[in-house]
Structure 1
């Protein structure tokens, strides 16, 4: 065989790893978008959120909006990096997903259903990025 004919098809394990990495990237981008939208809602229209009078972690809703907006933008950027196959993005994806979980837990009383959905999505991101080993290919390469 010549060097041009040495391409091999990926094994089932490699295909699963690529699929999980792509899944993690898509879910991280989705969590980022949800947090961006939530941040915009909190900054623009505070009256959409429930106000809990005696919540221990009570912050100004506009402040929460900026926190979620920044986390969302960073999650979007890191998600694109995961698609490109960057190791820093996988590590950063786990870290930012953890921060997204913490931020949504702390703001749970303000918008409970949305917070639970984003916490679940971020949990799937952590799982998907941690169960596969880093390969030399990007998530979208075949």
Structure 2
């Protein structure tokens, strides 16, 4: 039997050690890297053409350019978190969960403008939060 490094033998978290990631963190990082650019593209569209989105009498109604900036900033945050997860940085999972949750909430508020788009991105965000939360539980020893 091959000798195992002490870190692995003691059951410590190997996340952030520079090793190749796999499983749920890889899935979550890839999904963050998908959800982020989608939000960036939506944000740029909202900023450039603020007449594109319209929804009368909506509680969360913002200036359409504001929606564009909001999606752009969240999209950049999702990409940064995704890069952190894929590079195995210790802050990546926490940032990914946070940005996924923020994106989920803003997509929920955006449903009247583009319902199908919002529901698809909300699904991606839920998968991100689930995968990263699950991977945190697995590395901390919880089940």
User: 37, 50, 66: which is aligned to 1:63?
Assistant: 66
Superposed CA offset, 1:1-36 (max 9, x none):
8xxx6368x9xxx9xx82111000000111101100
Q: Are residue 81 (structure 1) and residue 78 (structure 2) matched? A: no
Any conservation in 2 of the 1:87–1:134 contact (CA below 8 Å)?
A: no
* TM-score (normalised: structure 2): 0.79
Q: Are residue 36 (structure 1) and residue 40 (structure 2) matched? A: yes
CA distance in structure 2 between the partners assigned to 1:90 and 1:57 by the alignment: 29
Equivalent residue, structure 1, for 2:3:
6
* TM-score (normalised: structure 1): 0.80
Any conservation in 1 of the 2:51–2:64 contact (CA below 8 Å)?
A: no
**Structure 1 residue ranges without an equivalent (≥5):** 136-142
Equivalent residue, structure 2, for 1:140:
none
Shift, 1:134, TM fit: 3.9
Higher relative contact order (CA 8 A, sep 6+): 1
